[in-house]
Amino acid sequence: MVPVGVGFEQDGGIIATVVDGTSSPISNPIEFGHPADVAFGGKELNQRQQRILDQLPGYGSQAVVKKRDVSMLDLSALTAKTGDEFAMFTRKGKRLIVRGNAKQVPLYENDLKKLFNDGYRWSGHTHTGFTGADLIASQGDKDTLVVFKAR
């Protein structure tokens, strides 16, 4: 099974619903491109999500898109489709999206400080997995919050 992506906002709120391994597949899809439908319902990404994924071909790739063209729910759907984590940063009307792998996004302290100094704010990132244990913040997650002066 492909892991469902779970997104977090800067204030710590969960964006997408976690579906544990005991849940049955979704028989009544919510919508095309919804993370749970992508992970469990055999649905595909919607066109907007697929365009974003096409700009992020592999580990470490980055794309800048209009703020209105991507949300954390979209990144959760990308995680459900690929099994990779995605991080998002916002500056003015643009969002920078960075693709990771199943365990991390390749942004290190110097990268994060540069983004912060360039005026970006941390918007959130996704985790892979089905359980609460998959949502535990890594040291890298905590370090990112410190750099961006977030909680």
Give tens-digit pLDDT for 57-114.
999 999 999 999 999 999 999 999 999 999 999 999 999 999 999 999 999 999 999 9
Give the pLDDT of residue 32. Answer: 64
Rounded to two decimals, the pTM is: 0.76
What does the buried/exposed string (b/e) look like for 96-128 if buried means 16 or more CB atoms within 10 Å of the residue's CB?
A: bbbbbeeeebbbeeeebeebbeeebebbbbbbb
| pLDDT, tens digit (0-9, with 9 covering 90-100), for 31-41 | 567 787 787 77
| pLDDT, tens digit (0-9, with 9 covering 90-100), for 1-33 | 333 444 444 444 433 333 333 333 333 334 567
Sequence spans of domains, the chain? 6-147
